Structure 1
Amino acid sequence: MPDKKNYWTQQRPDGKWESKREGASRASKVTNTQADAWTHSRQKATESQGEAFLKGRDGKIRDRNTYGKDPFPPKG
């Protein structure tokens, strides 16, 4: 089940970068640069108290940020 609070940044087949809410069929924003799409994903994840994921050109997760309450806080 997709978590609608999470946003993904990934490269499209046409070479542009998209910010997309998890489970959505369309991108919420398409940009020419990875940095612009990543900024949008982090902003939307902050607003929704979710997570932002950044996929590199190779499809692997390069970075991720959690906003709001962390589901597994470390004990300390």
Structure 2
Amino acid sequence: MKKKDVHVVPHGDGWATKTEGASRAGVKTNTQKEAIDRAVVKAKRDHVEVVIHRRDGKIRDSDSYGHDPKSSKDKKY
């Protein structure tokens, strides 16, 4: 099963969560923080990444809540 990251995107005058591959937004909120909080809950449950966008649509930040192969704690020395 392909992972479906959760994006926090501008939506009208507010913000929304949108799962990759979905045709419509999920949760709609008034603030970006509210949308991020909701996205984190879903990402932790689904072990995926949260991708946070700016108002202009560019990616601002991302956080992984699943197995991250790039994580330093997973590296063997």
Partner residue of 2:3? 3
Partner residue of 2:48? 50
Q: Which runs of 5+ in 1 are unaligned?
A: none
Q: Which amino acid aligns with 1:51?
A: E
Q: How does 1:1-76 map to 2 (within 5 A)?
A: 3-4=3-4, 6-12=5-11, 14-74=12-72, 75=75, 76=77
Q: State the Cα distance separating 1:50 from its structure 2 match.
A: 0.3
- Alignment RMSD, CA only? 1.6
The CA distance in 2 between the partners of 1:38 and 1:22, in whole Å, is 15
Q: Which amino acid aligns with 1:67?
A: Y
TM-score by length of 2: 0.83
TM-score by length of 1: 0.83
| Structure 1 residue ranges, 4+ long, deviating more than 2 angstroms after superposition | 71-76
